[in-house]
Structure 1
Amino acid sequence: MQLDARLSRTLHLLIHLARADGPITSEEAARMLGTHAVVVRRDMAGLREAGHVQSVKGHGGGWTLSRPLDQISMLDIYEALGEPRLFSLGPATVAPDCLVEQAVNASMATALDDARVLLLTHLRGVSLADIAADFDKRLCERS
């Protein structure tokens, strides 16, 4: 099963947008992320609707941040992307009348709900400025 990397890819792009001297086009972003410009535009459209980025068409146009990094959390971006599925695990539905399947599914549902709450709480607590600061630290350590 292929992982959904939209959140990671979008966070990556937003840190680059914050460091760019001007707008970044969808084509430039796509080359940077190893994807297609249409994918970038689709993902960024939700961020534009949420007020995190803006775009300008035409020569010299592209994507820019609308808000400072410290005002955007990982959760904000996750939500702007349409809240992609967090886990590949899920309940079985082969025998819905089977009491064993019901017990297993109830136990899994509790575990997945707990994990979802924990993950979303973490995403809420990490700003894009935190990620950028971690990048800066790693860059200094590499030098």
Structure 2
Amino acid sequence: MKRDSRLSSVLHALLHIADRGEPLTSEVLAKCMNTHPVVVRRTMGLLREAGFVRSAKGRAGGWSMATDLDAISLRQLHEALGEPAVFAIGNRNETTECLVEQSVNAVLDRAFAEAEALLLERFASVTLADLAVEFSRRHADRRQGKV
């Protein structure tokens, strides 16, 4: 099963935008993320609809932040992306007559729901500002030759 990497991609793009402090085009972001500009536009469009970024056309255009980094949580971004499944594992067969498989499904479903709730709770407590601090620390370490 293919994993949904949009949240990771969005975080990558937003940190580039925040770090540069100026609008970045879909083409520039696509190069940073090793993807196609159409993918960037489609994904960033979801964030624009949620009010996290803005876009401008023209020579000085591109994507820019519409709100402060400390006002955006990972959970909010996850929701803006349509709340993709957080786990790539699941039940072998959702509808079955087998009582063994029904039991397995029931236990797994409860465990998945509890784990997802915990993860989303954690996502709600992590902001883009937290990620920017981590990036800044790593960048400073690299400049000092620590990495």
Report TM bin, short chain.
Answer: over 0.9
Task: Provide closer, same or farther for how the CA distance between residues 94 and 74 of structure 1 changes in structure 2, counting only shifts above 3 A.
Answer: closer
Per-residue deviation, 1:94: 7.1
What is the count of residue pairs matched by the alignment?
Answer: 143
- List gaps (5 residues or longer) in structure 1: none
* Greater mean alpha carbon deviation, residues 92-101 or residues 116-125: 92-101
Task: Provide closer, same or farther for how the CA distance between residues 67 and 100 of structure 1 changes in structure 2, counting only shifts above 3 A.
Answer: same
Partner amino acid, structure 2, of 1:49: E
- What SS is found at the alignment partner of 1:64? strand
- What SS is found at the alignment partner of 1:63? strand
Contact 1:10 1:43 in 2 (8 A): yes
Partner of 1:135: 135
Task: Provide closer, same or farther for how the CA distance between residues 94 and 110 of structure 1 changes in structure 2, counting only shifts above 3 A.
Answer: closer
Give the Cα–Cα distance (whole angstroms) in 2 for the partners of residues 65 and 140 of structure 1. 23
* Greater mean alpha carbon deviation, residues 118-127 or residues 80-89: 80-89
Partner of 2:26: 26
Partner of 1:89: 89
Give the Cα–Cα distance (whole angstroms) in 2 for the partners of residues 121 and 130 of structure 1. 16
Percent of paired sites with the same residue: 48
Q: Deviations over 1:1-24 (max 9, x none)?
A: 332211011101101111114110
Give the Cα–Cα distance (whole angstroms) in 1 for the partners of residues 94 and 82 of structure 2. 29
Contact 2:54 2:65 in 1 (8 A): yes
Within 5 A, what are the aligned runs for 1:1-143?
1-93=1-93, 96-142=96-142, 143=144
TM-score w.r.t. length of structure 1: 0.95
Give the Cα–Cα distance (whole angstroms) in 2 for the partners of residues 95 and 4 of structure 1. 25
Moved over 4 A (4+): none
- List gaps (5 residues or longer) in structure 2: none
Per-residue deviation, 1:135: 1.1
Contact 1:30 1:37 in 2 (8 A): yes
Contact 2:69 2:129 in 1 (8 A): yes
